[in-house]
Amino acid sequence: MKTVVITGSARGLGFEMAKQFIKNNFNVVICDILEERLEEAKNVLEKLTRKKNNVLALKCDVTLEEDLQNVMNKTLEKYKNVDIWINNAGVNQPMCPIWEVESDKINRLIDIDLKSAIIGSKIAMIQMIKQGFGQIYGIEGYGSNDAMMLGLSVYGTSKRGLTYFLDVLAKEVDEKNLPIQIGKLSPGIMITDFITHSVGDESFELPEKTKKVYNILGDYPDVIAEFLVNKMINNKKNGVRINWLSNAKASFRFMTCAFNKRDFFNKLGDGKNIK
């Protein structure tokens, strides 16, 4: 049985990817800083499988190297190998210009969104070189393609840096002829806690203009997770970019938005009817 490790997987995209991997018969290791949510997530995952012992939930602050190493060690103790390692944990920034962002929030964001993915990839690489196979992924976001917007300077810098890092890592893997695949997951816009919460899980109100764009281009994370996980499971290529919101899909959404009244923010029923 194959094994996947996903950081930041107590909720949002990480949790939805975990569900998809369970459905595809993987051992799933979830880890997060939110202990209660992690336990709830574990219970949900266990109900999706008839097998015993194929879900492992570990408390982990990805900014601590010893926590990430502990996730790797506990995974190996239980499942022997790691087939896929996904650096998914991420936080948003308060939507204001850089001079209004407290320095501890800047540090925390860079530690979570950029540095933890570098250290996590290093830990995964060391194991995958030993075992002779494996895939490592990171999650792109606003700024990965050089886009700029007021209020996303630090987040955008971390995601731009992450994209660069994953490209270089893929090149290093190629040059050393290693049997490992590095990839970037580009999920587009997801309707998760992330879009209305910043570092430290502080909530903020989205501007109306942004809500309009999210209603057109956004999707719930379960749909996106299914797409991404299927692609990862079938991926054999190093340096791949798995992209949910292609230019063609985005253009189609804008062209049809007058007929397709989606509203994630004033939910009708449970809101799932707009999927």
Ligand X SMILES: NC(=O)c1ccc[n+]([C@@H]2O[C@H](COP(=O)([O-])OP(=O)(O)OC[C@H]3O[C@@H](n4cnc5c(N)ncnc54)[C@H](O)[C@@H]3O)[C@@H](O)[C@H]2O)c1
3-state secondary structure of 69: helix
Instruction: Tell me how far, at minimum, the Cβ of 9 lies from ligand X, in Å.
Output: 7
Which of 85, 142, 84, 136 lies closest to 113, judged by CA? 142
48 or 147: whose CB is closer to ligand X?
Answer: 147
Distance (Å, whole) CA 96 – CA 262: 27
Calpha distance 112→52 (Å, rounded): 32
CB of 169 to ligand X, least distance (A): 17
Q: How far is the CB of 158 from ligand X (least distance, A)?
A: 8
Nearer to ligand X (CB atom), residue 7 or residue 27: 7
Min dist. Cβ of residue 177 to ligand X (A): 30
Angle at 103 between CA 101 and CA 105, to 5 degrees: 70
| 99 alpha-carbon distance from chain centroid | 28
Complex with ligand X: residue 30 or 82, whichever CB lies closer: 30
Report the residue number, 8 or 134, with the smaller CB distance to ligand X.
8
Q: Which is nearer to ligand X, 131 or 167 (CB)?
A: 167
**Listed residue (85, 80, 81) closest to 68, CA to CA:** 85
Question: What is the Cα–Cα distance from 88 to 214, expressed in whole angstroms?
Answer: 21
Binding site for ligand X (CB under 6 A): 7-8, 10-14, 32-34, 60-63, 88-91, 112, 139, 141, 187, 189-190, 192-195, 221
Shortest Cβ 113–ligand X spacing (Å)? 6
